[in-house]
Amino acid sequence: MVSENLKNYLKEIEKNNKKGKKINAILEVNPNVLKEAKKSGHRSVYPKISGAKLAGKVIAVKANINVKGLHASCGSKVLEDYKAGYDAEVIKRIKDEGGIILGMANCDEFACGSSGETSAFGPTKNPAAPGFVPGGSSSGSAAAVSADFCDLSLGSDTGCSIRLPASFCNVVGIKPTYSSVSRYGLIDLSMSLDQIGVIAKNVSDAALLLSVIRGKDEKDSISQESEKINLSEIEKTPTGITVGVLDFESKDKKIDDLIEEKIEEAVKKYGWKVRKVKINYLDLAIATYYPLVYVEFFSATRRLDGRRYGKKIEDAAGPEVMRRILGGSEISKAEHHDRYYHLALKAKKLIEEELEKAFGKVDCIISPVCPKLPHKIGESISVEDMYAYDALTIPYNLYGNCALSLPVGKIDGIPVGMQVACDKFEDEKMLRIARSIEKLRG
The string of DSSP letters for 84-139 reads PSS--HHHHHHHHTT-EEEEEEP-SGGG--SSS---TT-PPP-SSSTTB---SSSH
Q: Which is nearer to ligand GLN, 306 or 319 (CB)?
A: 319
Catalytic residue among 137, 139, 156, 167: 137
CA distances from 332 to 2, 290, 420 (A): 52, 12, 34
Interface segment toward ligand GLN; rule CB under 6 A; list 65-73, 95-103, 156-164, 299-307: 156-164
User: Could you tell me if 436 and 234 are in contact, meaning their C-beta atoms sit under 8 angstroms apart?
Assistant: no
CA distance 68 to 92: 10
User: Could you tell me if 138 and 162 are in contact, meaning their C-beta atoms sit under 8 angstroms apart?
Assistant: yes
Longest dimension (CA), the chain: 63
- Tell which one of 16, 30, 40, 114 touches ligand GLN (CB under 6 A): 114
Q: Which is nearer to ligand GLN, 103 or 327 (CB)?
A: 327
Q: Does 161 bind ligand GLN (CB under 6 A)?
A: yes
**Residues 176-205 vs ligand GLN: string with x where CB under 6 A?**
-------------x----------------
For ligand GLN, the binding residues in 306-365 under the rule CB under 6 A are none
Q: Does 160 bind ligand GLN (CB under 6 A)?
A: yes
Nearest of 245, 250, 312, 298 to residue 276 by alpha carbon = 245
Q: Which is nearer to ligand GLN, 66 or 137 (CB)?
A: 137
Cα 276–Cα 278–Cα 284 angle in degrees, nearest 5: 150
Q: Does 139 bind ligand GLN (CB under 6 A)?
A: no
Catalytic residue among 40, 161, 182, 405: 161
Interface segment toward ligand GLN; rule CB under 6 A; list 112-120, 144-152, 274-282, 362-370: 112-120
Minimum CB separation of residue 390 from ligand GLN in Å reads 5
Q: Does 137 bind ligand GLN (CB under 6 A)?
A: yes
CA distance 98 to 209: 11
Q: Is 378 exposed, middle or buried (0-12, 13-18, 19+ CB in 10 A)?
A: exposed
Nearest of 163, 229, 128 to residue 367 by alpha carbon = 163
Q: Does 367 bind ligand GLN (CB under 6 A)?
A: no
Is 137 a residue of the active site?
yes
Is 62 a residue of the active site?
yes
CA distance 387 to 371: 12
Terminal alpha carbon distance of the chain: 34
- Tell which one of 54, 101, 112, 414 touches ligand GLN (CB under 6 A): 112
**Residues 386-405 vs ligand GLN: string with x where CB under 6 A?**
----x---------------
Residues that bind ligand GLN (CB under 6 A): 111-114, 137, 156-161, 189, 293, 390
Catalytic residue list? 62, 137, 161
